[in-house]
Amino acid sequence: MDAIEHPPIFRLPGIPDHVTYTWLVMVILAAVAFVASRNVQLVPRGLQNFLEVVLEQFQQMIDDVMGVAGRRFLPLLATLGLFILTGNLMSLVPGLAGPTGNLNTTGACALVVFLAYHWIGVRKQGLLPYLKHFAGPVPLALKPLMFVIEIISHLARPLSLTLRLFGNMVGGHILLAVIFLLMGLDGLIGWALSGSVVGAVVGGIGGVVTIAFTVGFLYPLKILVAFLQAFIFVMLTMLYISVAIEDSEHHSEQHH
């Protein structure tokens, strides 16, 4: 992918780009949180007010999906959501690289989710009841088969979380890179500036249309996808946690 995507402007020597920009996301989030909570007031104003609104959105989502009992997982879920959202939006800024456009970053997030929901389930139910709930409500002879199938489906969860976020981000990046390649000095705009009359007409009109298409359609779409993927990552994490802490009596058909 290095062939068509331009490398980011700011690079630390010897350190991969996604690590550099993960640090940048961490610095941004920590700085915003520090500035907002430096002088906490009962009636919030400005940045504190904004962050409270954001966190109340997360809390509302948790209440809807997991019930009030799920509020203790707000730090995990909101951190994941804000990190992924900031990373997704950062990859849209020209000259910066998005940390979520790399398989390692998304894999790390999914691994955190995988370990966290198993840990939460084992803490809530104890190790043996938690493992028993893998076997499901089937006759005894089928339990080993169900157990193996459940293990495979649990292993598929972090894989699908990883690949969904990575694929959406990288697909969008490649789309934008190809459009920019067609639009730029090697493509339509270069043709328009080349001096020939046909080139000036066709390349000029095509360049304007392509710029309008990019600014008017592709960028809003990418921003929507950035929010949507962060939302879906958090939502699936919530579902996994709420299935893991569910009592083993009434979970007969909703554990996917």
Partner 1 sequence: MRRSLILGGLSVFWLPGLAIAAEGAPATGGWIAPFAVIAAGIGMAIAAGLCGLGQGRAVASAVDAMARQPGAAARIQTAMIIGLALIESLAIYTLVIALILLFVKGIQFS
Diameter of the chain measured on Cα atoms:
80
Q: Least CB distance from residue 60 to partner 1, whole Å?
A: 10
CA-to-CA distance for 248 and 206, rounded, in angstroms? 61
Phi-psi map region of 14: left, alpha, beta (phi>0 left; psi -120 to 50 alpha): left
* Minimum CB distance to partner 1, residue 139 (Å): 29
CB of 103 vs partner 1, minimal distance in Å = 9
- List binders of partner 1 among 153-192 (CB under 8 A): 160, 163-164, 166-168, 170-171
Shortest distance in whole angstroms from residue 173 CB to partner 1: 11
First-residue to last-residue Cα distance in the chain: 34
Minimum CB–partner distance for residue 1 and partner 1 (Å): 6
Q: At what angle do helices 127-135 and 103-125 cross, to 10 degrees?
A: 110
Size of the site for partner 1 (CB under 8 A): 18
Regarding 239 and contact with partner 1 (CB under 8 A), the answer is: yes
What track of x and - describes contact with partner 1 for positions 108 through 147 (by CB under 8 A)? Answer: ----------------------------------------
Place of tokens 């360049």: 207
Quote the CA–CA distance of 101 and 140 in Å, as a whole number. 45
Q: Out of 56, 64, 186, 247, point to the residue binding partner 1 (CB under 8 A).
A: 64
Within residues 216-235, the interface with partner 1 by CB under 8 A covers 228, 231-232, 235
| CA nearest to 165, candidates 205, 108, 106, 112 | 106
Q: Which of 221, 232, 219 is nearest to 85 (CA)?
A: 232
Residues lying near partner 1 in the complex (CB under 8 A) are found at: 1, 3, 64-65, 160, 163-164, 166-168, 170-171, 228, 231-232, 235-236, 239
